[in-house]
Amino acid sequence: SILITAYGSSEVEQRAQALTDAYITKPFLLQDVLGEVERILQQAAEPPAGPAAAAAPALPVEGMVEQIEQRRSVHLTVLACDFDGTLAEEGQVDPATWDALRAARMAGMIHILVTGRTLDSIVGSGPFAELFEAIVARLPAATGDAEAPLQALIFDSHYDAYRGTVVYFRVVEGRLRAGELIRFMSNDAVYKVEEVGIFQLRQIPAAELSAGQVGYLTAGIKTISDTRSGDTITHKARPCAAALPGFKEAKPVVFSSIYPVAADDYEELATAIEKLKLNDAAIVYEKDTSVALGFGFRCGFLGLLHLEVVQERLEREYGLTLILTAPSVRYRILMRDGAEITIDNPALYPDPTRIETTLEPFIRATIIVPDRYMGAVMKLCLERRGANTNYQYLTSDRLEMIFELPLAEVIYDFYDRLKSITQGYGSFDYDLLDYRETDLVKLDILINGERVDALSQLVHRDGAVSRARIACEKIKEEIPRQMFKIAVQGAIGGTIIARETVSPLRKDVLAKCSGGHITRTRKLLEKQKKGKKRMKMVGKVMIPQSAFLAVLKTDTD
């Protein structure tokens, strides 16, 4: 088979595609293919059409590659196999072709992988000699004792509808065969291996895998949650002494509720999450209900990126339109009666009079930026209740800054703000540290006097007023105007700390009053006023999806 891709002008791409189509279903001579590759490179190096181009002489190999490198006009990949071994019988490929390929490869614009019967004939010559020598020199041989007790590292897995969970692993010590009983050391789950194999262009069954090899296994595993990345596989009858180091159980740290925009899509959402769970064991979910949004699911994620990936997959792969509530973290609350509870949903926040202490998770944030943005980054982190613990220069103009920050201050728009103030040059990573005492309050959003539980947030007391004002302002911009005034309020308990008003639409009731006494005008206006008051009492305000998304954006820029 052959696969040829090229990026450059449309003519180059069309020629590469034509070459692929010509050889993809039939045997071919590698020399013929390489000749076509050389012609594609020549075409990519040609100057634009015109009188000057017509008079230009043909470029030699060196000039051709140099011009391609300057223009960056082509990136070519060839995957080929010489079925009949003609190249081995005829000897060398045309030297000029080899020169062109070697020069193009050195320029980083062409990557060639050749497999099949011709491989032995070209190892000692052409551009491949350097490649194979580099592989031998730079990639060390696998280490490990094949006779030791089995010790294998899981690095990935996926769910197959016919075979169950397929586990990808590397054998560190020992050997593994089909039919043997294995145990996952993190959860003591025991399974009988049905098949082991190696990876080529497809999965190839093998008799056994021994120390140093990478492969896959199937064992009729029904749930992917039993196969955790970083876990150790060993034999049930002859276990290894200890698990491989580095395994950490994945625990959700960011929580959000997911609701379908259309209530009729609830069953489709439930089915989609169940299917997604088959291939993503890190998702934790349970059923949830909201007065404003109806039925949905409360989900736990490994982080913000995981949340965004899950949302994107649900919308793209399953065609759902979703509403996500403001993300929150898991808090520990010590009650006055000595009990300790853990909450991740603002709706579960207990009566403040019963709370003794509240603890929130902190992170160790690593931020790498050009040093000219140091002041702006420090200001942002201090605004988010962060503390700078260390910084060091990685290069003459690149700085690594270490901060300790509350996780709750990061899950909203911290990364967007960081990218904005560093003009895209800042990078951000974090690790969980511990739980620390905090002064927490529940911020409720009221629309026309009614609490919308999906808009509630748990925030630090010092930032509650500013967060409430910004949330009210942004929600006001998203709610469509009605024939009556709509009050958008932020409240802590029974205290209103922020308010915005959506001004009403006004019908011109005086249009039909072309004349008459002033009392006639007043009568019409008074009648309109009473009608709007009655409408406000019975009217319902439809909250659009964009209003829920607006709560996540707390920047004041």
pLDDT tens for each residue of 285-326: 988 887 767 889 999 888 878 888 999 999 999 988 888 887
Which of 174, 296, 159 shows the shortest CA–CA distance to 239? 174
Which of 154, 203, 1, 13 shows the shortest CA–CA distance to 83? 1
Higher model confidence: residue 382 or residue 68? 382
Give the pLDDT of residue 487: 86
- Give me the torsion for CA of 418, 419, 420, 425, rounded to 10°: 110
Q: Is the pLDDT of residue 16 over 70?
A: no
- pLDDT tier, 482 (very low <50, low <70, confident <90, very high otherwise): confident
* Whether the Cβ atoms of residue 448 and residue 489 lie closer than 8 Å to each other: no
Q: Which domains does the chain have, with CATH numbers?
A: 3-138 (no CATH), 151-235 (2.40.30.10), 254-324 (3.30.70.870), 332-438 (3.30.70.240), 441-550 (3.30.70.2570)
- Report the run of H or E that residue 16 belongs to, with start and end: helix 10-23
* Whether the Cβ atoms of residue 309 and residue 325 lie closer than 8 Å to each other: no
CA angle 11, 14, 20 (to 5 degrees): 145
What's the whole-number average pLDDT of the chain? 75
Token code pair at residue 80: 């080929």
Q: Is the pLDDT of residue 196 over 90?
A: yes
The C-alpha atoms of residue 110 and residue 97 are separated, in whole angstroms, by: 13
Q: Is the pLDDT of residue 194 over 90?
A: yes
Bridge partners (DSSP) listed for residue 215? 169
Give the pLDDT of residue 516: 64
Q: Give the mean pLDDT of 460-477.
A: 87
Token code pair at residue 284: 């934790």
* Whether the Cβ atoms of residue 336 and residue 260 lie closer than 8 Å to each other: no
Alpha helices in 113-211 (DSSP H): 119-122, 128-138
Give the pLDDT of residue 3: 42
Give the pLDDT of residue 341: 92
The answer to which of 94-98, 362-366, 510-514 has the lowest mean pLDDT is 94-98
- Report the run of H or E that residue 157 belongs to, with start and end: strand 151-160
Give the pLDDT of residue 424: 86
Please report where in the chains the tokens 């060390």 appear, as a residue.
140
- pLDDT tier, 402 (very low <50, low <70, confident <90, very high otherwise): very high
Token code pair at residue 240: 């290894």
- pLDDT tier, 179 (very low <50, low <70, confident <90, very high otherwise): very high
Token code pair at residue 367: 């931020």
The C-alpha atoms of residue 40 and residue 63 are separated, in whole angstroms, by: 15
Q: Is the pLDDT of residue 159 over 60?
A: yes
The C-alpha atoms of residue 243 and residue 235 are separated, in whole angstroms, by: 12
C-beta pairs of 51-56 under 8 Å, 24+ apart in sequence: none
The C-alpha atoms of residue 458 and residue 464 are separated, in whole angstroms, by: 9
